[in-house]
Structure 1
Amino acid sequence: MVIVKASAQSEAGEMPSEQLLTEMGAYNEELVNAGVMLAGEGLHPTAKGKRVACDGKQRTVTDGPFAETKELIAGYWMWQVDSMDEAVEWLKKSPFQEGELEIRPVFEAEDFGEEFTPELREQEAQLAERIAMQSAVIQPYLFFAGRCEEALEFYKQALGAKVEMMMRFSESPDPVPAGMLQEGFEEKIMHATVSIGAMKIMASDGTNDTGTFEGFRLALSVQSEADADRVFNALAEGGSVDMALVKTFWSPRYGMVTDKFGVGWMVMVPGDPQ
């Protein structure tokens, strides 16, 4: 852990200069590219903080600001390096022109000796896995069996979709394994990333024309009943209405439709949270 000590300026809430922010961004990018930086944040001054003192079961809360600026922290990095010397060399490259930085090793399991029992190690490992999964993201990945490009154009018109990235099999940096693709699929879409509102969806033609969509629907929430009518009718064009738009106990406007590519949708206006 690299600790950035506070200064009179940081405690006064003064923002860094544009030049320092630019240089710090370049420095952080260099750390990330080298696989060194795991995390890093700046901290608000202690005037916005609190301290909690523990005495047995009693807790005493004290509002900031706190005295002794030289003992306070203004920010930190978490680095992964092979040695303290390597960390020092990286810090020598930092863009800071004044102030003090402190480097402290982080405890690892082997540092605790026999007191850190196998049961405690297992508990720690399970907690680490749960923490890692808290930042996991699930995104729908749709395979259109050779109709991906047509589908993306359809969703552009029907839903205002934006194609952020698209690559054909013929554009792949690595050769496609022999026999993987159905004949004539060389110019089909290998991968695409599409945004629809605040949601990102990934899509592909797949490797053949036999894919189908079963067992799921995409839930599309819009702001008004007029929006619901518009997108529902657009998605239904060439497809089928599975449940007409109606008022339900959870939504003033809700319906189900399967579009002409076989993708099932639930279109709704969010109801009253009460």
Structure 2
Amino acid sequence: MKVMVIVKATKSSEAGELPSAELLQAMGQFNEELVKAGIMQTGDGLKPSSEGKRVTFRGQSRTVTDGPFAETKELIAGYWLWQVDSMEQAVEWVKKCPNPMQEESDIEIRPLFEMEDFAENDPEGKVAAHEEGLRQTIAMQSSIVQPYLFFSGRCEEALEFYKKSLGATVTMLMRFHESPDPVPEDMLQPGFENKVMHASFHIGKMMLMASDGCGDGTNFEGFRLALSVSTEEECNRAFAALAEGGTVDMPLEKTFWSPRYGIVTDKFGVGWMVMVPGEPN
């Protein structure tokens, strides 16, 4: 079950008094315990109500009131969302929490509604299906898609090439023989034990990942990397660097969407579209 664990406001929190260094450290350790136990999903502290606003609904009218709000004991100073087995488990965890305030304080635990609670008013499950779709959309909004390149035994050479031609920065590199877990038997082509199992590298603001793969049979097909640079001079330089030992598929030229655009496949078989972004419409 999910519960919201609510830290009630006090005079000190409403006055904007920040927690001491000791309390911050203690709360950080408590949060770490929650995370390790698989309990904590999210949590934050709230600024005092003097920095907030309240919207009152009366039929079709909406009235906005600026803080602060007087009912201190009814205000919230922070919260967690926890996944627990029971209210009893939530209570036991709250008992372990350091006092979040300088003075006497309260922490309230409230279970969240689950869609099953509304089954009687949603007999066909349409609302539940809609909410599940929204949940999946929210989850995917924080996802990241990153290119993962397989170089068929030439990964280290490729990384050095991108360092020289595009100013790439390698942030991590692990070889197959360095893997904490043994590589499954017969997975690697003979001689690949010292090849790159995984690497991460940056080109500009983008992070890419790379590997030698398990053998030399990998080909790049069906995609290209789009490289946008700020000036035509840098576009010319990057394009020429990538074309060295590779193939120019479309020479650099002006297009209706870019003052400088070209397509090149580098010597490792990776396709690039190199461009200067056009002016926004």
- TM-score normalised by structure 2 residue count: 0.89
Please state whether the residue corresponding to 2:111 is helix, strand or coil.
Answer: coil
Amino acid at match of 2:145: I
Larger displacement relative to structure 2 (86-95 or 74-83): 86-95
Residue pairs, 1:1-274, within 5 angstroms: 1-98=4-101, 99-117=105-123, 118-274=125-281
Task: Write the deviation string for residues 146-194 of structure 1: whole angstroms up to 9, x where unpaired.
Answer: 1111111111222222222222222222322222221211111111122
Please state whether the residue corresponding to 1:104 is helix, strand or coil.
Answer: strand
Identify if the C-alpha distance between structure 1 residues 179 and 11 changes in structure 2 by more than 3 Å, giving closer, same or farther.
Answer: same
CA contact (8 A) 1:221 1:267 kept: yes
Matches of 1:73 and 1:97 in 2, distance apart?
Answer: 12
Amino acid at match of 2:11: A
Please state whether the residue corresponding to 1:44 is helix, strand or coil.
Answer: coil
Amino acid at match of 1:96: N
Amino acid at match of 1:89: E
Identify if the C-alpha distance between structure 1 residues 239 and 13 changes in structure 2 by more than 3 Å, giving closer, same or farther.
Answer: farther
Matches of 2:30 and 2:228 in 1, distance apart?
Answer: 41
Offset at 1:255?
A: 2.1
Please state whether the residue corresponding to 1:167 is helix, strand or coil.
Answer: strand
Matches of 2:7 and 2:254 in 1, distance apart?
Answer: 56
Offset at 1:113?
A: 4.6
Offset at 1:73?
A: 1.1
Identify if the C-alpha distance between structure 1 residues 196 and 87 changes in structure 2 by more than 3 Å, giving closer, same or farther.
Answer: same
Matches of 1:217 and 1:128 in 2, distance apart?
Answer: 31
TM-align CA RMSD: 1.9
Larger displacement relative to structure 2 (257-266 or 53-62): 53-62
Offset at 1:63?
A: 2.1
Amino acid at match of 1:169: F
Task: Provide the aligned length of Structure 1 versus Structure 2.
Answer: 274
Please state whether the residue corresponding to 1:166 is helix, strand or coil.
Answer: strand
Matches of 2:115 and 2:161 in 1, distance apart?
Answer: 54
Larger displacement relative to structure 2 (217-226 or 201-210): 217-226
Please state whether the residue corresponding to 1:219 is helix, strand or coil.
Answer: strand
Larger displacement relative to structure 2 (247-256 or 159-168): 247-256
CA contact (8 A) 1:109 1:116 kept: no
CA contact (8 A) 1:213 1:262 kept: yes
Identify if the C-alpha distance between structure 1 residues 21 and 273 changes in structure 2 by more than 3 Å, giving closer, same or farther.
Answer: farther
Offset at 1:8?
A: 2.9
Identify if the C-alpha distance between structure 1 residues 214 and 113 changes in structure 2 by more than 3 Å, giving closer, same or farther.
Answer: closer
CA contact (8 A) 2:224 2:270 kept: yes
Task: Write the deviation string for residues 106-146 of structure 1: whole angstroms up to 9, x where unpaired.
Answer: 11133335223222222222222222222221111111111
Amino acid at match of 1:158: S
Matches of 2:86 and 2:174 in 1, distance apart?
Answer: 41
Identify if the C-alpha distance between structure 1 residues 224 and 34 changes in structure 2 by more than 3 Å, giving closer, same or farther.
Answer: same
Matches of 2:127 and 2:16 in 1, distance apart?
Answer: 41
- TM-score normalised by structure 1 residue count: 0.91
Matches of 2:252 and 2:68 in 1, distance apart?
Answer: 57
